[in-house]
Amino acid sequence: MPYIRRGATRRPKAPGQAQANSKKSAATPPTAYLRCRARPLRARRPRTGGPRMATIYSHSRLSSFENCPKQFEYRYIQKIPAASEGIEAFVGKRVHEVLERLYLFVGRDQIPGIEKVVDRYHKLWEETYDPERVRIVRENTPLSYYRQLGEDCLRGYYLRHYPFDESETLGLEKRVVFPLDDAGEYRMQGIIDRISRARDGAIEIHDYKTGARVPSQRILDQDRQLALYQIGLSRQYGHDTEYRLVWHYVAKNRTCVSTRTKEDLRKLRSDTIARIDEIQAATDFPAKKISLCGWCEYKSRCPLWASPEEVARVEAEEAEARAAAEEAEAVDDSQLSLL
């Protein structure tokens, strides 16, 4: 089985290439699994020049507007960088990274042992965990609980799916960009955790979930995210191909599956276009109190949670930090001009 690059599909090999690749893979010890680099957390600086609406939407962007228009404004119009993230998101990223690397090695016919997978997870944790950035929202829940949660998720998934031959991997962390309409005015994008071809020929769209709650089948049958990805992939794999939407709720060691009809996808296109029109026409972005407020990175500036004085203080601190960063950048540029 050939090596699978991120976001790539399998390509036919030239004569003699398969044998060369086989020798190259055999020379790479499974311990190389532990040497894959981690993805560091980065805070993006806000864009200047006034508010701008994105021309390419995503499921996350739509959900942000639906959950709280004020969060949408902060995140996607003002583009205020997040100073922190919840521990749940941090654990989810590490689990996703380890599973991506696991399937890369599966594609090389070098399945790492379960202990190497777990070791990789803890190595990533040590490399990326920053107590100044990662927040624990739930009171009386120790950090060790979340670290063990990620390990348990990986052990459960590994034991459930080993030796990982249920389907052929076609892509990992694959970015898809696609239009919703014939004119291409409404465009969507997304990152698919894993794409595979099952033994019966169906294209499977996989999504890993580390949350504790497993939705009902009725909710999954109405899920927008993976169905949008199906619309995007149908341009590559065909509209008449059979597709399956697969969720792996790794914290509960459960796998859920759903499918969509052509009428379902037609309605999804129409509903999504209507939602984008609503967002594009919006001029006011009110804050909403919801159960997820505790995990919002903008809570310290939200008018529903912070006093006007607190909001002013946060904005002043951020303005000062931006000014310092711009000054440092200007100094760097002036030094480069002297070289």
- Phi, psi (deg, nearest 5) at residue 85: -145, 155
**Token digits of residue 336:** 């480069």
Position 334 scores a pLDDT of 54
Chain centre distance of CA 36: 19
β-strand partners of 56: 187
Section 218-238 average pLDDT: 97
**pLDDT(338) > 80:** no
Position 47 scores a pLDDT of 43
Position 295 scores a pLDDT of 82
Residue 27: which pLDDT band, with cuts at 50, 70 and 90? very low
Q: How does pLDDT run across 115-166, given as a tens digit for each residue?
A: 999 999 999 999 999 999 999 988 889 999 999 999 999 999 999 999 999 9
Q: How does pLDDT run across 263-320, given as a tens digit for each residue?
A: 999 999 999 999 999 999 999 999 998 888 888 888 888 988 876 666 666 666 666 6
**pLDDT(14) > 80:** no
CA distance 227 to 246: 11
Position 303 scores a pLDDT of 87
Position 296 scores a pLDDT of 87
Rounded to the nearest integer, the mean pLDDT of the chain is: 84
**pLDDT(98) > 50:** yes
**12-26, 55-69, 76-90, 261-275 — which is least confidently predicted?**
12-26
Position 301 scores a pLDDT of 85
Could you tell me the residue ranges of all domains in the chain?
Answer: 30-42+83-161, 167-281, 307-339
Question: In the Cβ-directed half-sphere of 19, how many Cα atoms lie within 13 Å?
Answer: 2
Q: Does domain 167-281 have CATH number 3.30.70?
A: no
- Residue 215: CB atoms within 10 A of its CB come to 15
Q: How does pLDDT run across 163-214, given as a tens digit for each residue?
A: 999 999 999 999 999 999 999 999 999 999 999 999 999 999 999 999 989 9
Q: Which residue has the higher pLDDT, 41 or 141?
A: 141
- Residue 141: CB atoms within 10 A of its CB come to 12
Q: How does pLDDT run across 45-57, given as a tens digit for each residue?
A: 444 433 444 479 9
Q: Which residue has the higher pLDDT, 149 or 30?
A: 149
**49: alpha, beta or left? (left if phi > 0; alpha if psi -120 to 50):** left
Q: What is the pTM of this model?
A: 0.75
Residue 26: which pLDDT band, with cuts at 50, 70 and 90? very low
Long-range contacts of 226-231 (CB under 8 A, 24+ apart): 226/258, 227/260, 227/264, 227/265, 227/268, 228/59, 228/188, 228/190, 228/268, 228/272, 229/176, 229/190, 229/192, 229/205, 230/205, 230/260, 230/265, 231/178, 231/180, 231/188, 231/265, 231/268, 231/269
**Are the CB atoms for 254 and 230 separated by under 8 Å?**
no
Long-range contacts of 285-290 (CB under 8 A, 24+ apart): 285/69, 285/70, 285/72, 285/73, 285/77, 286/69, 286/70, 287/68, 287/69, 287/70, 287/71, 288/67, 288/68, 288/69, 288/70, 290/67, 290/68
- The DSSP code sequence of 51-115 is ----SEEEHHHHHHHHH-HHHHIIIIIS-PPPS-EEHHHHHHHHHHHHHHHHHHHHHTT-PPPHH
